[in-house]
Amino acid sequence: MDYKKIFKKREMRLKLINCLRFIPTKPYLKMVYKIKTGKKLNLKNPVGFNEKLNWLKVNDVHPEYTDYVDKIKVREIVKQKLGEDICFPLLGQWEKYQDIDFNALPDKFVLKCNHDSGSVKVIKDKSQINHSEFKKFFNSRLKINPFAIGREYPYKKVKPMIMAEKFMTPDNASDIEDYKFFCFNGKPEIMFIATERSIDCKFDFFDMDFNHLDIVNIHPQSGKEIKKPENFDKMKEIAQKLSQGIKFARIDLYEIEGKIYFGEYTFFHGGGFWLFSPVEWERKLGDLINVKG
């Protein structure tokens, strides 16, 4: 499979999708789903996982989820649910790049936006920051409203901010592995580990006994043996607690030097447009989302 061609096609599709932003949500989702997946979206009687995610966008609206997807406000929610703070230490938050006091920050830190995905800069030496480029990058990202792209309602009213977190990657590691649990009404069913994110991201899926699953979802499998996380059982407990009462939530966690850290809540994995292969996994995961009650 030529993934470079896939990503090139995806960029072309995004340009087309940008032209459709002012269309009402239901017809918009149907058109975007067709553009991205090549399939018809059935919102009346959804069956597959991604169909049901889009059904949830329209029919299962919870205004409180806005704080769950806000990477600043969610910190307090997680603390209340777990009784402990497992979030990365927060070093500061600002409305625009010009407000950041870099003299007050350590040499290493992570700078990112609180309201979207991908607006991240990992700083390993702040003296090397190109402030002109960073200012342009972050102030442009602050203007983005993810709701307009995927109609994921929780993002509609998040106040865009820039935040800094403590740099947590161990010195002997190029990246930290990301453990993402698919939870249905508070029950983790499968998870995947994202690796090589700074190079060419790989997804490896596992069941709750850490058996590798033959699943491809946008990114290829790593083809490598991946060791079971030291605190895998504890991660499952945390994912279960954080997803109670939610039809579907992806809970992202990290394990660094034996300690678990919370990453984020995701209510619409892949925006509801990343189809699973083999195709039977669309039905298997879709069966776990209750759209009737």
What is the Cα–Cα distance from 113 to 141, expressed in whole angstroms? 8
7: tokens are: 């990503």
- pLDDT, residue 84, reads 83
Does the structure show a pLDDT above 50 at 198?
Answer: yes
pTM for the structure as a whole:
0.90
Q: What percent of the chain has pLDDT over 70?
A: 90
Beta bridge partners of 92: 164
Alpha carbons 95 and 116: distance in angstroms, whole number: 15
Mean pLDDT of 260-284: 96
Cβ-contact 181, 241 below 8 angstroms: no
Residue 8, pLDDT score: 55
Confidence label for 18 from pLDDT (cuts 50, 70 and 90): low
CA distances (Å), 21 to each of 14, 146, 148, 151, 160, in order?
Answer: 11, 11, 6, 9, 19
pLDDT in tens, 180-197: 999 999 999 999 999 887
Domain boundaries, the chain: 42-87+171-293, 89-167
Using alpha carbons, list the distances in angstroms from residue 288 to 82, 88, 183, 217, 244.
25, 31, 9, 18, 14
Give residue 1's pLDDT band: very low, low, confident or very high (50, 70, 90): very low
Is 19 a residue whose pLDDT tops 70? no
Task: Kindly give the residue spans of alpha helices, DSSP state H, lying in the chain.
Answer: 3-18, 25-37, 49-59, 65-69, 74-82, 131-141, 146-150, 232-242, 280-286
Supply the DSSP symbol for 208: T
Q: Which of 53-57, 147-151, 271-275 has the lowest mean pLDDT?
A: 147-151
CA–CA distances in Å: residue 118 to residues 23, 51, 79, 142, 271: 25, 24, 24, 12, 14
Mean model confidence pLDDT for the chain: 90
Look at residue 125 and tell me whether its pLDDT is greater than 90: yes
Q: What is the mean pLDDT of residues 2-15?
A: 53
Q: Of 164-173, 192-201, 210-219, where does the model show the most confidence?
A: 210-219
pLDDT band, residue 11 (cuts 50/70/90): low
Instruction: Provide the CB-side half-sphere exposure for 239 (13 A, CA).
Output: 26
Residue 9 dihedral angles phi and psi, to the nearest 5°: -65, -35
Question: H helices within 107-224, ranges in order?
Answer: 131-141, 146-150
Which pLDDT band holds residue 176 (cuts at 50, 70, 90)? confident
pLDDT digit string, tens, across residues 46-88? 999 999 999 999 999 999 999 999 999 999 999 999 988 899 9
Per-residue pLDDT band at 3 (split at 50, 70, 90): very low
**42-87+171-293 under CATH 3.30.470, yes or no:** yes
Instruction: Tell me the C-alpha distance between 225 and 210, whole Å.
Output: 12
